Amino acid sequence: MTTIIILIIATWAALTIGGSIPLLGTSIAAILLGAIIRHTPLYAYFDSKIIKFVSKYFLKTGIVLLGFTLSLRILGQVGWEVLIILASVVVISLLTSLILSKLLKVDFSLGLLLGIGTSICGGSAIATTAPILEAEDEEIAVSITTMFIYSMVALLVLPTLGRALGFSDQLYGILAGSAVNDTASVVAAAFAWSEKAGSIATIVKLVRTLLIVPMTVGLIYFKFTKQRKVTQSVNQPAVSWQQVKANIPLFVVFFVLAVTFASLVTIPTEVTSLISRSSKLFMTMALFVIGLGVHIDQIKKAGLKPIVLGAVTWTAVLVTSIGLLNILYR
């Protein structure tokens, strides 16, 4: 009972902090609260069975519910130029993070999470793909924290860059939507420029968020291909259908079905709002539990490498976005 009470209070606190300080966000607030409690006597009162249950099911439930808030119909509101920019951003971000993670000797999962978070939508993309990658709690926490750092940097850098490059409201809105990680930071950076830029950035960001779907499918295919190569190298029987199904997490299937449903059926705004809040509730509690699994020694061990990796990857995304904006719109 003590565990449930603490979980409820911590989730409420994270949601309150995230609501009061939008640029901080509930994800960072939840992880920080969990990490702080991890280093206090209060940690001893947690029931490990409840913690494991929340960690295993709540994050995935929140991700499935997130699917109902994403509709492919938003693609009709942007031109092919924006789609080219977003696709390029994903490719460049992933290549940069994977190459640099090898050079810096950063774990593959952490490097990939940083690349995914930088190219798509920060914390949400990381939370969605982490279970597929079987990432450790500290890898999730470090990658989400890194996203927060560069979202803050973007708020300071982007307006100056936009003015220096002589960007119009349209170009700046696309830049903010394609190059800033966190949704709250996209909104803050774009609407501070102008109402038009803010509206454009919001639409571009929503389209960018939809890239979670092909990303999850791609990761599953990558895992399956990797397993098949291992099987063939040791002369084992060909991969069976059962093994194929084992590589497809059930929550991903439900997530894709949810996106498909939301794309085909018009869900009332009130219902979508309720689903969005429910998704946020489940994910916030799950991220708090992830924070509980993070020890300060693990953060020290990671060092500055993730920060450097995040900096280079985000810079590559920014340069790619600006370059393509100049090529396609000027």
pLDDT tens, per residue, the chain with 330 residues: 789 999 999 999 999 998 888 777 888 889 889 989 988 988 888 988 999 899 888 988 998 998 898 888 888 777 889 999 999 999 999 999 999 999 998 899 999 999 999 998 888 889 888 888 888 888 888 898 888 888 888 888 999 999 999 999 999 999 999 999 887 788 888 988 998 998 899 889 988 988 988 898 888 888 777 766 665 555 555 555 555 555 577 888 898 899 999 999 999 999 999 999 999 999 999 989 988 887 777 677 767 889 999 999 999 999 999 999 999 987
Specify the pLDDT at position 87.
Answer: 94
Q: Is 57 inside a domain boundary?
A: no
In a domain, 8, yes or no: no
Q: What is the pLDDT of residue 240?
A: 53
Domain count, the chain: 1
Q: Is residue 211 part of a domain?
A: yes
167 token code pair = 């960007």
Position 36 in a domain: no
Domain that holds residue 100: 63-282+295-329
Burial label, 1 (beta-carbon count in 10 A; 0-12, 13-18, 19+): exposed
Q: Rounded to whole angstroms, how far apart are CA atoms 72 and 64?
A: 16
pTM over 0.85: no
At 308 the pLDDT is: 92
Of 10, 9, 54, 56, the residue nearest 35 (C-alpha):
10
Tell me if 318 is assigned to some domain. yes
In a domain, 38, yes or no: no
Residue 31 lies in a domain: no
Residue pointed to by tokens 């509980």: 292
Distance between CA atoms of residues 46 and 48, nearest Å: 6
The reply to whether 247 falls in a domain is yes
The count of residues in the chain is: 330
- CA–CA distance, 298 with 301 (Å, rounded to integer): 5
Number of Cβ atoms within 10 Å of the Cβ of 86:
24
